[in-house]
Structure formats: C-alpha cells, structure tokens
Amino acid sequence: MTTVNNLIDALGDSKTSTANTAFADLMSSKINAALSAKKIGIANAVYNGAINRQEQENADVQTVETESE
C-alpha cells in the first residue's frame, strides 16, 4: 500500500509518474474504505431495523399531532 510519504517523496523528486500512481493508490484505498463503511451502515439499517432520520421525523410529527388532539 502506498503511503502519503511515498507521494510526498515522489513529488519532491519531481517524479510525476510515480506521484500519479501513488496518488491513485491512496485515493483508491480511501474510496474503498468509505464504500465499505457505507455498506456496513446500510446492512445495519436493513438487517438490524435501524430507523432512518425521515422515518423518525414522521413518527415525531405523528406523536405531536396525537398529543394535540
């Protein structure tokens, strides 16, 4: 795995091709990590019954309407 230090070293040495590859590797790993985290969140919501924000707001509105009657 490419590190930020490798990217900085390549830029410092004016090795643009190496820097480009290092940057692409870094971004790929960051995107994959974010995608994995999002997949876990979605799976948790689907399989563990987590309530999303819109459903919670709808429930809150219904509670307020019931209490005011």
- Angle of helix 4-12 relative to helix 16-47, nearest 10 degrees, comes to 160
Q: What is the pLDDT of residue 3?
A: 86
Using an 8 Å Cβ cutoff, are 19 and 7 in contact? yes
pLDDT tens-digit map of 3-57: 899 999 999 999 999 999 999 999 999 999 999 999 998 888 888 875 556 666 6
Q: What is the domain partition of the chain in residue ranges? A: 4-68
